[in-house]
Amino acid sequence: MTLLLKKETLAPALEFLNSLGHSKLRNPLHNYLRVEVQEGLLKLGAASDEVDGEAALRGEPGGFSFGPVLVPGRLLTEVVSAAPGEEVELSFEEAGVRVTSGRFQSRLAAATPDGFPDLHLLDPENPGAFHTLSLPPEPLREALLQVRYAVSKESYRGVFTGVQLEFREGGFRAVASDGYRLALREVEAPVGVTRKVVLRAPAVDRLVQALRGVEAPLRVGLAEGLVGVVLEAGFGLLRLGLRAMEGEYPDYERVIPKEFIARFRAETAPLKDALRRLLAVADSQNHRVDLLLEEGRLVLEAEGPYGQAREELEVWREGSPISLALDARYLLEALGPAAREVEVGFSGPISPALVRPAEGGGYRAVVVPLKVG
């Protein structure tokens, strides 16, 4: 029983599935891939604590079924990725799975699938009792990437360790916050479902990775504690089951400033460069940078234990002169998704500041000034 596959589809499918596990030490079976053939369709399954995945790849010839068996994931991935030929032949035998390509061949031991966890996946053909929706892949990927930085790295911070996706009739929003800053991105799309769900950061990262280069809309199913995704990846159909967190973000709308006493516009790149220079000198604990906005210029100052630094930028500005202190790292990260020009609005010296691209778009970020005494 032999299935012939293109290396250029099999290798990336294996590489993706093999990267899912962030829990390999906790459950040794997460090191294995479940391999199964159904009428010439190769199904590869991977389990982890955050995300389960299954890829379905068409091989030649069809007409037989095999498995499931378990094959060591890293080993199968390395052997296929390093295969010398453009095609890879998988032979399913008593003793294991034989991989042949050119003058190279390898036989990998296969284990029985006993004990392998049930994959948490939603069957797109059988939507049953969950909400389904269709999402545009590239805007979703961009939205997740743009807010990802604001997720808390402290595991005790609960929902703030995840990205909240908010679905509504005519679009969706991705939000992330660690309690000190917040990033959000609006996307318009015919979603048709009202629902909130929080995905843990590792699941977000895997989804972002899976969405790369995907063109067809993805189908999403929302069940209790689980977001199921079905997408047309380059290598074939990919199903993902992303575990959702319990709870949702507290009301954050109230920290987004709506009125401003001052604002400025500047080119993003020189502002980022200036902040990086000041960060080198700034206090390494609070990364404090003082901003003074007045008459067409923004003055940035920092002081640390070994020195001080100052830089002036010419900016367009409006409103009253204002001075305040910010965490330069937070401001830098908030500027990340603002492409060419950025607008920063201040609601007061100790009230939240709002960062958004001057050219518009659905990205906004809130940075809370440092309390200075």
Chain residues that interact with a copy of itself, rule: CB under 8 A = 72, 75, 78-79, 82-84, 96, 103-109, 270, 273-274, 276-277, 280-281, 305-313
Rg of the chain, C-alpha, whole Å: 25
Residues 3, 66 contacting (CB under 8 angstroms): no
Both tokens of 151, joined, read: 């997720």
Burial of 127 (0-12, 13-18, 19+ CB in 10 A): middle
Residues 230, 241 contacting (CB under 8 angstroms): no
Provide the residue type at 231 as one letter: L
- The minimum distance between CB 32 and a copy of itself, in angstroms, equals 10
- The minimum distance between CB 318 and a copy of itself, in angstroms, equals 22
Residue 250, φ and ψ in degrees, nearest 5? -65, 165
Q: Which residues lie below 8 Å from residue 299, measured CB to CB, with a gap of 6+?
A: 291, 292, 293, 310, 311, 312
- The minimum distance between CB 212 and a copy of itself, in angstroms, equals 25
- The minimum distance between CB 46 and a copy of itself, in angstroms, equals 17
Rounded-to-integer distance, Cα 42 and Cα 321, Å: 65
Nearer to a copy of itself, 107 or 196 (CB): 107
Nearer to a copy of itself, 278 or 353 (CB): 278
Nearer to a copy of itself, 211 or 302 (CB): 302
Q: Report which of 368, 318, 328 is spatially closest to residue 348, judged by C-alpha positions.
A: 368
Nearer to a copy of itself, 123 or 312 (CB): 312
Nearer to a copy of itself, 104 or 350 (CB): 104
Nearer to a copy of itself, 1 or 280 (CB): 280
Residues 68, 34 contacting (CB under 8 angstroms): yes
Nearer to a copy of itself, 72 or 158 (CB): 72
- The minimum distance between CB 278 and a copy of itself, in angstroms, equals 8
Q: Report which of 42, 49, 55, 43 is spatially closest to residue 15, judged by C-alpha positions.
A: 55
Helix (H) or strand (E) holding 270: helix 268-281
- The minimum distance between CB 307 and a copy of itself, in angstroms, equals 4
- The minimum distance between CB 9 and a copy of itself, in angstroms, equals 19
